[in-house]
Amino acid sequence: MTDRQAPRAKDRPWLMRTYAGHSTAEASNALYRRNLAKGQTGLSVAFDLPTQTGYDPDHVLARGEVGRVGVPVSHLGDMRRLFRDIPLERTNTSMTINATAMWLLALYQVVAEEQGADPALLRGTTQNDIVKEYLSRGTHVFPPVPSLRLTTDMITYTVHHLPKWNPINICSYHLQEAGATPVQEIAYAMSTAIAVLDAVFASGRIPVERRGEVVGRISFFVNAGVRFVEEMCKMRAFSRVWDRITRERYGIEDAGHRRFRYGVQVNSLGLTEAQPENNVQRIVLEMLAVTLSRDARARAVQLPAWNEALGLPRPWDQQWSLRIQQVLADESDLLEYGDLFDGSRVVEEKVAGLVGEAFEEIGRIEEMGGALAAVESGYLKSRLVAAHAERRARIESGEERIVGVNCYESTEPSPLTADLDGAVMTVDPANEARVVAALVAWREARDGARAAAALAALRTAAASTDNLMAATVECARAGVTTGEWSSALREVFGEFRAPTGVGGAPLAVTAEAGTPLAAVRAKAARTAEELRVGRLRLLVGKPGLDGHSNGAEQIAVRARDAGFEVVYQGIRLTPEQIVAAAVAEDVHCVGLSILSGSHAALVPDVLGRLREAGAGDLPVIVGGIIPNADARALRAAGVAAVFTPKDFGITTIIGRIVDEIRTANRLEPLEVSV
């Protein structure tokens, strides 16, 4: 016997994906085909914000957003070009789409049929978790009840027509980015799953004997942070909670149907702009948390790129992330062994604790009437905002250490970022006009009568209790556009503005004498006194379609705690609405938060409208993922200050806001230590 025993047969590796899509369907198709040629084993489609929120590229809210954070898909022609020369019957495709998931699945099915594929053989996933959109991601469109109906209709349709498709990917990923603790991640995701399954089974469209098939096709999409042991235990706890719920609540006997099936993207929130080369080791550690534990191993993994805190990754950056997965799967011996953590008392105690606390929180949500009721009451959102505020406070105090950010900040010059503006991919600003022109041509060339009839049938179905999927598929075939499909449903269902959670968030940072927050409070109060107003007023605005509101919420909460009166109306506002609110509320500063890359178009629009309204002297600050060249251009256009992810000290930012208010009002600088 040698000292190296014969290994067991290797497990199959997980699906390897990169989250990709940009500019146009043609450009994204070329990227997908290159990635598949490099050994990627599944596609993960990123759609742009107009597509995610149900707007055509020529809508006023789509300005500056087209093709920025994903691919624009406005109609069947776009979907054909997106998957040209990619055989969908042999491809596993994940589509990150929620409010408009039914629409994109219909387009995908029709394109597959045009290729000659059997819909019964299509494999892939639509995310389709609308609850987390109300809480964190912000691409919701319709109110909770009709949104749940769309999800239910999709699930029941796929059981009968696309049996290998995962019709929902319940997503706790964005919950972690919004501040969720591991317990909250588990509890909120499972409460969403309960709401969905209860609605599906109550619909009467699934025979009792086929309930296991429904449960077996429910998948999850989770986040893995850098706290390796805790994250690995979280995955094991997820598995146990899901097994117990599906067995005890729904009576699912087949262990295969009860298996916790999840894909993962590791934590983009934890990537840093400062010393971004450190992101590589963060990504590796986070990947290990979801691959080392065989009994709770991810079924699919997509890794962010090292430079995502700087901007849009280039193809080479995505290749680097793919190679990280391939080295682990193909060069290491990980897949040759059973579960490495069986019998560990440390792991067992941690998992048991997470399971117990998660069921306690699930119970509280059930007492409120379930996940949808907890969304509508604002409970879930306020808990997430509070948890995020607490985490940010730990980072600012140094209690939670982030290498290169609040410790070990000295660094050698990095060749990776020697040319910061060239270290990320940029989208041609002229791309939007080309996409809009192509959309106009599509509308002119289609059979207008057939499209109108399909939309009329969709409205009729929406007003009834019919399954909406059949009418949606006909809309896809008839050449209806994304904005038209969504608009028809908006007419019937209405729209929804989710609670912001800001008002109910508790104080996260102490304001005792001698603390930085106390100094900023004193400076704000002194400035308000000199301006002869009760309190300084700050408008926090989210122009465009970017729904990542975490940063805006944290600024709003900390400004409130510093003594400001804060005007925050939530996401998805036009520049015109923001300026109207700034003038009506007579604010002293406007803060704009944009993470989608649309700052180059939207911020100058806000500045111009303020000048037209006679408020051109009002200081405007901007925060987001903004390349250096863009930041210089914004300051040259009149922006008072630009903040990016490297500016992690929120109290310091609030102090800077007070300084800008003083400068704009020609007050003497106030020397107060912050």
**Contact at 8 Å (CB) between 122 and 166?**
no
Distance of CA 427 to the CA centre of its chain: 20
Q: What is the dihedral of CA 581, 386, 272, 319, to 10 degrees?
A: -90
| Residue 10 known to be catalytic | no
How many angstroms separate the CA atoms of 395 and 401, rounded? Answer: 6
Q: Is 134 labeled as catalytic in the residue annotation?
A: no
Q: Which of 19, 55, 157, 568 is catalytic?
A: 19
Active-site position among 58, 546, 630, 659: 546
Burial class from Cβ neighbours inside 10 Å (0-12, 13-18, 19+) for residue 209 reads: exposed
Contact criterion met (CB below 8 Å) for 164 and 121 = yes
Q: Which bin fits 39, alpha (ψ -120 to 50), beta or left (φ > 0)?
A: left
Catalytic residue among 75, 548, 588, 599: 548
Contact 292, 11 (CB under 8 A): no
Rounded CA-CA distance 285/515 in Å is 35
Q: What is the DSSP string of 89-106?
A: GG-EEEEE-STTHHHHHH
Buried-state track 221-259, b at ≥16 Cβ within 10 A, e below 16:
bbbbbbbeebbbbbbbbbbbbbeebbbeebebeeeebbe
Listed in sequence order, the residues at least 6 apart from 408 whose beta carbon sits closer than 8 Å to its beta carbon are none
The active-site residue, picked from 55, 173, 188, 568, is 173
Listed as own residue / partner, the contacts of 160-164 with beta carbons closer than 8 Å and 24 or more positions apart are 161/119, 161/120, 162/105, 162/109, 162/119, 162/120, 162/122, 163/120, 163/213, 163/217, 164/120, 164/121, 164/122, 164/123
Q: Which residues contact 160 (CB under 8 A, 6 or more apart)?
A: none
CA-derived radius of gyration, the chain:
25
Query: Tokens for 327?
Result: 């080295």
| Cα-based angle 263, 267, 270 (whole degrees, multiple of 5) | 175
Q: What is the DSSP letter of 277?
A: G
Distance CA 621, CA 612 (A): 18
CA distance 381 to 502: 9
Closest CA to 238 of 95, 90, 351, 388: 351
DSSP state of 638: T
Residue 546 is a catalytic residue: yes
Please state the length of the chain.
674
Give the torsion through C-alpha atoms of 587, 593, 598, 602, to 10 deg.
0
381 is catalytic: no
- Supply the residues annotated as catalytic: 19, 173-174, 542, 546, 548
